[in-house]
Amino acid sequence: MPGSPRAFNAYSSHLDVIMIYTLVPDLPRRVDDLELIVQEPWRIASRERSSTTREYIGAVDSIEALREGRGAFATQEEFYRYWREYEFKLSKLVQKRLAKMLAEQRTELERYRSRVDDA
């Protein structure tokens, strides 16, 4: 996809960094009790979208479950199987980009096949 620096599988790992804090508007820094939680996405994922207005994978909503990496999935494979089959809604722009990318791939494949056939 345009804007993606590399393919998903090119990364050696994927991590979620979560910040939990108390908002204190009267403090100059506005934040107190900052806690960082770092987990692999599959370990904290839920089976629900994160929002009704956006198409993102949701996380469990218990702070203890986030800390402990106790999400809805027993394994990374179960997580990917579930979310790869989930029918996210795609915007018109994303649909157009995907259609363009597929057309470009088909054209490239046809060129390759014609070179192989000519050889």
Round to whole Å and give the CA distance between 94 and 79.
Answer: 24
In this predicted structure, what is the pLDDT of residue 117?
83
- As a CATH number, domain 1-88 is 3.40.600.10
State the Cα–Cα distance between residues 41 and 14, nearest whole angstrom. 7
Contacts 24+ apart (CB under 8 A), 78-83: 78/42, 79/41, 79/42, 79/45, 80/42, 82/47, 83/45, 83/57
pTM of the model: 0.67
Place of tokens 């198409």: 55
Per-residue pLDDT of the chain (119 residues; tens, 9 = 90+): 566 778 888 889 999 999 999 999 999 999 999 999 999 999 999 999 887 777 788 999 999 999 999 999 999 999 999 998 888 777 788 778 888 989 999 999 999 898 888 87
- Residue ranges per domain, the chain? 1-88, 89-119
